[in-house]
Amino acid sequence: KVYDTFRDLPSNNYDFVIVGGGTAGNVVANRLTENPNFSVLVLEAGGTNVNAFEIEVPYFSSRGVPAQYNWNYSTIPQNALNDRSIPMQRGFVLGGSSSVNRMFYTRGSADDYDRFAAVTGDEGWSWKSVQKYIAMNERFEPPADRHNTSGQFDPSVHSFTGINAASLPGFAQNTDSLVFDAVEELGGIFQFNEDCNSGKPLGISWLQRTVTTEGRRSSSATSYLAPEFIERKNLDVVLNTRVSRVLPSRSNQSSSGPAFRTVEFVHDLDGPRFTVEASKEVILSGGVFGSAHILLNSGIGNSTILSRLGITPLVNLPSVGQNLTDHPIAEIDWLVNSTQTMDDINRNTTVSDEYEAEFNETGMGPLVDSNAGNQIAFFRVNESLTDRYGDPSAGRDSPHLEMIPSNGWAPGTPPATGNYFSLGVVLVSPTSRGSMTINSTNPFAPPLIDPEFLSSPFDIAAMREVMRIAFNYVSASTWKGFILSPSQPALANITAASDDNALDEYIRNSAFSISHPVGTVAMSAKGADYGVVDPDLRVKGVEALRVVDASVFPFVTSAHTQVPTYVIGERGAELIKATWS
Ligand SMILES: Cc1cc2nc3c(=O)[nH]c(=O)nc-3n(C[C@H](O)[C@H](O)[C@H](O)COP(=O)(O)OP(=O)(O)OC[C@H]3O[C@@H](n4cnc5c(N)ncnc54)[C@H](O)[C@@H]3O)c2cc1C
């Protein structure tokens, strides 16, 4: 059951305590409680204080980012992107980021997982091995508008029996045919790919999203904690519960290091601290910032830095908080000769109210998808770039770059007038690495997060290249008469032929986080002198403590990160079950 306060819990005895009822945490909670002999408590910092409409509608709704999602931790970027403030968003609500994300369903490349296996020395993370977890997660459903999807995806690479719904676009955009016509006209790197989730994502595909056939968001809260699961007698979830630290237990010391079975938490940041002890294990699923933060508060991290701060170091793991990796995105918008764009949803309440009514009544209409884009494209950089800087991708079939077409201004609120077409351009194989740390003994003080975007020569060169790809793409004659002119003065003089300085200026002034941060509690091989968790997701040098969420990625996948996080959740749960069965 879900409880609002810890005081209402029927028991204080649990085998497993999971910190964070987010994307991965809820997977672990679900899978562990399949065994009726295991009891599980989930401590979630957020609530469910979003009304049904807002949790189900697109992130880019007329309401912008709903305030009650309570984005946590604004960052303090240092020197990145011309000092522009870059909020690192994440869900702070049951379901975590899966409750607020843009619902893109992308697995990444086969090479991404094979690299996970290679760096951890664990074949269980390879593409071949994770197919099982992808299938356990995914339930592919017909799109909300029930259109004929033949040729729009490859059924042979999908599962129709998993827990989390995925589907093709449920509302046709009038740019759909133009997007593919331009691909056909241009050829070369612009190739149709029937399914970007086959392990080979290069080319342009129909976008899949974590949305049900009724046009509703499928988050880890709506799927893995669906009524038939949350009613299990051995599963309790308590909301509004912020975990501050894990504490070493006095008992159960073993040769593998101190055991951290006790979890300290509060209901009220200024109120008393409580503790609960897991009889078997504690699982941190607080996300890329939450989990690393709790480890540092607990004295697990760089001992020198923690001592300097006044925190007693208990386990020296200097990699905690390092290796932060994220995808930078820049948006390019053009004015178009059309009134059939999605811009009015974001600026005209009469229109958005109409769509909302349609959505509530029929589960159809423009609000079934998370944004105005129905396609997704992945590219490699030109070989001259990899010759010069080395190849940071996971392999020859892995992209460095992504382009997201949109029938409307993206992201957020468009100018008061005009209709737009947008291309989001993304670097998905970055070489820059950021970090997060703490500078306070107060466990609730925000951490310091430095994404270090575009801090390597490869990254800025690759962003220039994807900008040029975007300008080449809209130069196809298909777009003549539709695309009129760039929307902003900053883009007025930019073309594919622009020099590096002009492109750099635009990129550095406009790029921001696409919200795919990973890697602060990275996996590494057993015995490696870097990394935070072993390939079985146990914190190195510690007993009874694992981390299961996006923080354990050793590299960011060359795709949006929720599906890989679900894979981490499914395999993490299986590893825990195997230990205790
Ligand atoms: C705005 C946005 C858009 C995105 N769009 C996409 C997309 O379209 N497609 C895609 O694939 N990926 C997308 N992502 C990324 C993807 O959603 C995340 O990578 C993934 O959901 C992360 O899962 P997680 O389990 O690591 O963390 P989360 O799902 O964020 O879960 C962490 C949970 O822990 C809780 N928590 C944190 N600290 C504590 C604490 N101290 N005590 C108790 N609980 C705590 C949080 O409240 C949260 O519920 C997006 C992310 C965001 C934020």
What does R_g of the chain's alpha carbons equal in angstroms?
23
Which is it for strands 545-547 and 274-284: parallel, antiparallel or unpaired?
parallel
- Residue of minimum CA distance from atom 31 in ligand 1: 22
Q: What mean pLDDT do residues 416-421 have?
A: 94
Residue 130 lies in a domain: no
Give me ligand 1 centre to Cα 131, in Å: 22
Question: Does the pLDDT at position 50 exceed 80?
Answer: no
Q: Looking at 247-251, 285-289, 337-341, 548-552, which range is the least confident one?
A: 247-251
The pLDDT > 90 percentage for the chain reads: 71
pLDDT at 11: 87
**Pair of tokens at residue 435:** 């970090």
- Taking phi over 0 as left and psi of -120 to 50 as alpha, with beta for the rest, 544 belongs to left
Residues 372 and 403 grouped into a single domain: yes
As a whole number of Å, the end-to-end CA separation of the chain is: 24
Residue labelled with tokens 């601290």: 273
pTM: 0.94
Please answer whether residues 446 and 423 qualify as being in contact, where contact means their C-beta atoms are separated by less than 8 angstroms: no
Pocket test for ligand 1, best of 97, 99, 218, 406 (most atoms within 8 A of CB): 97
**Domain-ending residue, one of 467, 483, 510:** 510
Q: State the CATH number of the domain containing residue 460.
A: 3.30.560.10
Q: How confident is the model at residue 56 (pLDDT cuts 50, 70, 90)?
A: very low
Q: What mean pLDDT do residues 233-241 have?
A: 94
Residues 316 and 345 grouped into a single domain: no
| 243 labeled binding residue | yes
Residues 317 and 384 grouped into a single domain: no
Please answer whether residues 41 and 14 qualify as being in contact, where contact means their C-beta atoms are separated by less than 8 angstroms: yes
Question: Does the pLDDT at position 51 exceed 80?
Answer: no
Q: Looking at 41-45, 221-225, 255-259, which range is the least confident one?
A: 255-259
pLDDT at 412: 64
Residues 161 and 304 grouped into a single domain: no
Pocket test for ligand 1, best of 5, 6, 50, 90 (most atoms within 8 A of CB): 90
Residues 184 and 285 grouped into a single domain: no
Residues 265 and 305 grouped into a single domain: yes
Q: Is 276 helix (H, G, I), strand (E, B) or coil?
A: strand
Q: What mean pLDDT do residues 538-564 have?
A: 98
**Pair of tokens at residue 230:** 């949350």
**Domain-ending residue, one of 510, 535, 555:** 510
**Pair of tokens at residue 554:** 């050793």
How many angstroms separate the CA atoms of 292 and 368, rounded? 35
Residue labelled with tokens 């981390």: 547
Q: Is the CB of 217 under 6 A from ligand 1?
A: no
Q: Please compute, for residue 29, the number of CA atoms within 13 A of its CA located in the half-sphere on the CB side.
A: 38
Residue labelled with tokens 């354990």: 552
Q: Is the CB of 104 under 6 A from ligand 1?
A: yes
Q: Is 448 helix (H, G, I), strand (E, B) or coil?
A: strand
Question: Does the pLDDT at position 73 exceed 60?
Answer: no
Q: What mean pLDDT do residues 288-293 have?
A: 94
Q: Is the CB of 301 under 6 A from ligand 1?
A: no
pLDDT tens digits for 438-493? 889 999 887 887 778 888 999 999 999 999 999 999 999 999 999 999 998 888 88
Q: What mean pLDDT do residues 59-81 have?
A: 27
Question: Does the pLDDT at position 435 exceed 80?
Answer: yes
The pLDDT > 70 percentage for the chain reads: 91
Residue 108 lies in a domain: no
Residues 423 and 438 grouped into a single domain: no
HEC string of 87-129? CCCCCCECCHHHHCCCCECCCCCHHHHHHHHHHHCCHHHCHHH
Residues 74 and 161 grouped into a single domain: no
Please state the atom number of ligand 1 nearest to the C-alpha of residue 46.
47
Q: How confident is the model at residue 253 (pLDDT cuts 50, 70, 90)?
A: low
Please state the atom number of ligand 1 nearest to the C-alpha of residue 243.
42
- List, in sequence order, every residue forming a beta bridge with 483; answer none if it has no partner: 336
Please answer whether residues 243 and 45 qualify as being in contact, where contact means their C-beta atoms are separated by less than 8 angstroms: yes
Is 516 assigned a catalytic role? yes
**Pair of tokens at residue 351:** 């229109």
Residue 142 lies in a domain: no
Higher pLDDT, 71 or 313: 313
Q: Is the CB of 561 under 6 A from ligand 1?
A: yes
| 119 labeled binding residue | no
pLDDT at 369: 77
In the set 158, 327, 400, 516, the catalytic residue is: 516
Please answer whether residues 75 and 87 qualify as being in contact, where contact means their C-beta atoms are separated by less than 8 angstroms: yes
Residues 201 and 268 grouped into a single domain: no
Residues 22 and 75 grouped into a single domain: yes
Q: What is the DSSP letter of 515?
A: S
Q: What is 320-387 written as a DSSP string?
A: TT--BB--EEEEEEEEES-S-SSGGGGT-HHHHHHHHHHHHHHS-SGGGSSSS--EEEEEPPPHHHHH
Residue 137 lies in a domain: no
**Backbone dihedral angles phi then psi of residue 232, each to the nearest 5 degrees:** -60, 140
Residue 112 lies in a domain: no
Higher pLDDT, 299 or 358: 299
The sign of the torsion formed by the CA atoms of 549, 550, 553, 557 equals positive
Residue 239 lies in a domain: yes
Q: What is the DSSP letter of 390?
A: -
pLDDT at 88: 63
Q: State the CATH number of the domain containing residue 3.
A: 3.50.50.60
Cis peptide bond N-terminal to 411, omega within 30: yes
Question: Does the pLDDT at position 291 exceed 60?
Answer: yes
Residues 441 and 370 grouped into a single domain: no
Residue 319 lies in domain? 1-103+219-325+434-453+517-581
**Domain-ending residue, one of 510, 531, 548:** 510
Q: How confident is the model at residue 68 (pLDDT cuts 50, 70, 90)?
A: very low
Q: Is the CB of 437 under 6 A from ligand 1?
A: no
Pocket test for ligand 1, best of 5, 243, 561 (most atoms within 8 A of CB): 561
Please answer whether residues 83 and 450 qualify as being in contact, where contact means their C-beta atoms are separated by less than 8 angstroms: no
Q: What mean pLDDT do residues 364-383 have?
A: 89
pLDDT at 177: 97
Q: Please compute, for residue 21, the number of CA atoms within 13 A of its CA located in the half-sphere on the CB side.
A: 32
Q: What mean pLDDT do residues 349-373 have?
A: 83
Q: Is the CB of 26 under 6 A from ligand 1?
A: no
How many angstroms separate the CA atoms of 437 and 443, rounded? 12
pLDDT at 87: 55
CA triplet 37, 41, 47: central angle to 5 degrees? 145
Give me ligand 1 centre to Cα 217, in Å: 15
Q: Is the CB of 323 under 6 A from ligand 1?
A: no
Residue 122 lies in a domain: no
Residues 364 and 407 grouped into a single domain: yes
Higher pLDDT, 90 or 323: 323
pLDDT tens digits for 306-343? 999 999 999 999 999 999 999 988 889 999 999 999 98
Give me ligand 1 centre to Cα 26, in Å: 11
- Dihedral angle over CA of 570, 572, 578, 581, nearest 10: -80
Q: Calculate helix-pair angle for 127-137, 562-580, nearest 10 degrees.
A: 100
pLDDT at 254: 60
**Pair of tokens at residue 308:** 């300097």
Q: How many domains does the chain have?
A: 2
Residue 259 lies in a domain: yes
- Residue of minimum CA distance from atom 3 in ligand 1: 101
Q: What mean pLDDT do residues 544-551 have?
A: 98
Please answer whether residues 40 and 29 qualify as being in contact, where contact means their C-beta atoms are separated by less than 8 angstroms: yes
Question: Does the pLDDT at position 72 exceed 50?
Answer: no
- Residue of minimum CA distance from atom 4 in ligand 1: 101
State the chain's maximal CA–CA distance in angstroms: 74
pLDDT at 74: 29
